[in-house]
């Protein structure tokens, strides 16, 4: 009885296996020539250790071995990131233009170039931490921000992914920011351009689209969308400026939606909560939604 297989079950198995035999996208089963999600999230976690060595490092290492610990971590990231970059380059190329050795060398050059950007990324993140500390009276210390703020986590992963995006690495930058999205609820496309001193307060539900441009000293709250007006054009819109431009010293409060590639929010603008903008706003303007009319009915007097 233990070896008996119901004919109906066997038929279903055969039906599904036969469905794998065409060339549809959903049928890709070559696990050795596609990016590894677990490897990429591990790379992100190790890059965070490199960016914040005093905060993310393994506690089993004593302080006097921190330098050796970081050296090993950096070498590990270089090895595994180069491997994943080579895979996505081959995956995108599909063997049509460059041979494997050329793609491997290209992956190595990209990885070394990216890792050379780490001091630059750390410098920008220092400004983001400063912005969070100065912008949030609830913050007791900068260490608290690094340890616990989802906004800084999402920004940190974005800063990593954006540099890879600038180096024209396919797929991996988006996989990195979607990893942060899954943890924080903050969706930042790696193609967005974001200036220094960027602060996300609370953060849940924020969406920042691919062609968004954000200046310096910008603060945004939960539920903000910096999005496109329409995606009905599909792939024809690829590369087109679809998302808004936000100037310097702008504050955008919770629930606001700012849409469209031609929408420009000038410097020193404050956008109130639950506003919906598809038109540009001049410098120094305060925009707010008309206050809703509220009706109060006391349970004591209600008949």
37 and 149 together in one domain: yes
| pLDDT computed for residue 128 by the predictor | 98
> Do 29 and 20 touch, CB atoms closer than 8 A?
yes
Q: Looking at the domain assignment, is residue 197 inside a domain?
A: yes
Q: Which residues in the chain show pLDDT less than 70? A: 1-5, 27-32, 57-66, 93-98, 231-233, 301-303
140 and 199 together in one domain: no
99 and 221 together in one domain: no
145 and 113 together in one domain: yes
Q: What is the C-alpha separation between 79 and 196, in angstroms, rounded?
A: 30
Q: Looking at the domain assignment, is residue 281 inside a domain?
A: yes
151 and 201 together in one domain: no
Query: What CATH code is carried by the domain that includes residue 157?
Result: 1.10.3130.10
The number of folded domains in the chain is 2
Chain-centroid distance of CA 200 in Å reads: 13
Question: Where would I find the H helices in 167-248?
Answer: 172-184
The structure tokens listed for 197 are 């001193």
246 and 166 together in one domain: no
- Torsion region of 213: left, alpha or beta (phi above 0 gives left; psi -120 to 50 gives alpha): beta
Q: How many CA atoms lie within 13 A of 222 on its CB side?
A: 8
| pLDDT computed for residue 1 by the predictor | 43
Q: Looking at the domain assignment, is residue 52 inside a domain?
A: yes
Q: Looking at the domain assignment, is residue 249 inside a domain?
A: yes
181 and 282 together in one domain: no
| pLDDT computed for residue 204 by the predictor | 96
232 and 120 together in one domain: no
| pLDDT computed for residue 292 by the predictor | 77
* Domain encompassing residue 283: 192-290
Asked which of 149, 165, 186 is the last residue of a domain, the reply is: 186
Q: Looking at the domain assignment, is residue 147 inside a domain?
A: yes
Asked which of 154, 186, 218 is the last residue of a domain, the reply is: 186
Q: Looking at the domain assignment, is residue 38 inside a domain?
A: yes
The structure tokens listed for 266 are 């000038």
Q: What is the C-alpha separation between 104 and 91, in angstroms, rounded?
A: 12
181 and 197 together in one domain: no
279 and 133 together in one domain: no
Query: What CATH code is carried by the domain that includes residue 260?
Result: 2.160.10.10
Backbone angles phi, psi at 129, to 5 degrees: -65, -45
Q: Looking at the domain assignment, is residue 180 inside a domain?
A: yes
213 and 134 together in one domain: no
Q: Looking at the domain assignment, is residue 39 inside a domain?
A: yes
Give the max Cα distance, the chain.
82
pLDDT in tens, 144-180: 999 999 999 999 999 999 999 999 999 999 999 999 9
């Amino acid at each position: 009885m233990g070896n008996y297989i119901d004919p109906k079950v066997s038929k279903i198995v055969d039906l599904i296996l036969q469905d794998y035999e065409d060339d549809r996208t959903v049928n890709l089963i070559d696990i050795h020539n596609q990016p590894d999600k677990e490897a990429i999230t591990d790379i992100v976690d190790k890059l965070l250790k490199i960016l914040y060595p005093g905060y993310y490092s393994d506690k089993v290492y004593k302080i006097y071995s921190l330098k050796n610990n970081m050296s090993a971590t950096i070498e590990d990231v270089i090895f595994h990131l180069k491997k994943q970059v080579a895979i996505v380059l081959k995956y995108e190329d599909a063997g049509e233009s460059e041979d494997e050795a050329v793609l491997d060398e290209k992956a190595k050059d990209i990885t070394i170039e990216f890792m050379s950007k780490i001091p630059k990324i750390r410098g920008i993140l220092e400004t983001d931490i400063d912005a969070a500390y100065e912008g949030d009276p609830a913050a007791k210390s900068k260490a608290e921000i690094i340890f616990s703020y989802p906004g800084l986590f999402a920004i940190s992963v974005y800063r990593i992914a954006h540099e890879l995006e600038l180096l024209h690495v396919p797929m991996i930058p988006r996989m990195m920011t979607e990893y942060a999205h899954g943890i924080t609820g903050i969706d930042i496309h790696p193609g967005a351009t974001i200036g220094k001193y960027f602060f996300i307060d609370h953060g849940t539900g924020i969406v920042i689209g691919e062609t968004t441009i954000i200046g310096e000293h910008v603060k945004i709250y939960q539920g903000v969308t910096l999005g496109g007006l329409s995606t009905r054009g599909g792939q024809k819109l690829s590369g087109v400026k679809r998302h808004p431009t936000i100037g310097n010293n702008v504050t955008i409060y919770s629930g606001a939606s700012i849409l469209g590639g031609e929408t420009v929010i000038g410097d020193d603008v404050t956008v109130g909560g639950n506003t919906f903008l598809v038109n540009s706003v001049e410098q120094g303007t305060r925009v707010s939604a008309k206050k809703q009319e509220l009706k109060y009915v006391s349970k004591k007097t209600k008949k």
